[in-house]
Structure 1
Amino acid sequence: MIHVLSNIGIVVLTFCLMECVTWLTHKYIMHGLLWILHDDHHNKTAHFFEKNDYFFVIFATISMCFYFVGTFVADFGFMFYIGIGITLYGFAYFMVHDILIHQRFKFFSRTNNFYFRALRKAHKMHHKHLGKEQGECFGMLYVPMKYFREAWRTKK
């Protein structure tokens, strides 16, 4: 039972740490070295797919490497559960960022949840900057308190 709980703990911890990884990657890699892939996310094109979508492939590949090593090298060791945590965060990212915020698929278009209003505002502030400099709100699930206050003031 302790082994199962520790594996669940690894998944949950990895999921939480992925918010930090996302923030750092978004700020220093997407808005830095690999801006060429992220640029079309801030400066929209008529295409459904963006070069920015390659980041999904990059993170999925990293997750698959953890699955592979955790399964075949370590006999379902802790690296397998790290892969699960990364995958779950990727799914959450897709649901929140691509579906809820950017409405790439028209699900949940009328949600009026307090947290989601704050999240959308923070993301809107991130996208007000069309270049790679002077960005803000680089995370995905973490929302600074000022956007919660604003969401509270503008509740519908």
Structure 2
Amino acid sequence: MNALIIIVTFFAMEGVAWFTHKYIMHGLLWVWHRDHHKKEQPGYLEKNDLFFLIFAIPGISCLAAGILGAMPVFTCVGIGITLYGACYFFVHDLFIHQRIKVLRNSQNWYLKAIRRAHKMHHKHIGKEAGECFGMLWVPFKYFRIGPGDGK
């Protein structure tokens, strides 16, 4: 049962990430997210990185509540949230944006589709008219190989 709670929470986080990205990051808190689409300041960090801290709070809170004995289910939810956050970091920051140069030349069909979808998201530098707000779920059209993608 615990594993099921972790798995369900992990996959539910994709919906949370999509909703938050579309309606919060490209809405109310665009002022923080804008520099992720168009570099505004020199340096390694972006205002957008503040979202990492905000997204960590529910996971840490659930882990703490579970460990402190409030309800063991909270530990499982916290683990699911934290695993999704780790995946987000590896896929978004390391693989897609290459903050640390790893997996630069992956030919994996799924990873290439993720990269294509995210590239389309960043094609829009304004907060309106965006697409592909999720991270791990990729629309089928991005699995097709286009010109210059084949190898």
The answer to whether TM tops 0.5 is: yes
1:66 aligns with 2:67: no
Aligned to 1:7: 2
Runs of 4+ in structure 1 deviating by more than 4 angstroms, as ranges, are: none
Match of 2:85 in 1: 90
Structure-2 residue corresponding to 1:135? 130
> CA, structure 1 residues 151+72, in 2 after alignment: closer, same or farther (shift >3 Å)?
farther
Structure 2 residue runs of 5 or longer lacking an equivalent are none
Counterpart Cα distance in 2 of 1:136 and 1:125: 7
Q: Distance in 1 between matches of 2:42 and 2:108?
A: 30
- TM-score normalized by the length of structure 1: 0.91
Cα RMSD, aligned residues only: 1.5
Match of 1:111 in 2: 106
Decide whether the 8 Å contact of 1:114 with 1:152 is kept in 2: no
Structure 2 counterpart of 1:48, which letter? Answer: Y
Counterpart contact for 1:40–1:50, Cα < 8 Å:
yes
AA at the equivalent of 2:66: G
Note the alpha carbon deviations across 1:52-100, whole angstroms, 9 max, x for none: 111110111111111121221425x101110000000000000000010
1:122 aligns with 2:127: no
- Choose from 73, 83, 96 the match for 1:101: 96
Give the equivalent residue in structure 2 for 1:3: none
Q: Distance in 2 between matches of 1:32 and 1:53?
A: 16
Aligned to 2:14, what secondary structure does the other structure show? helix
Q: CA deviation at 1:151?
A: 5.7
- The DSSP-based 3-state class of the residue aligned with 1:15 is helix
In percent, how many aligned pairs have the same letter?
55
Q: Displacement of 1:154 after TM fit?
A: 3.0
SS at match of 2:25: helix
- 2:105 maps to 1:78: no
Tell me the matched-pair count: 150
* Unaligned ranges ≥5, structure 1: 1-5
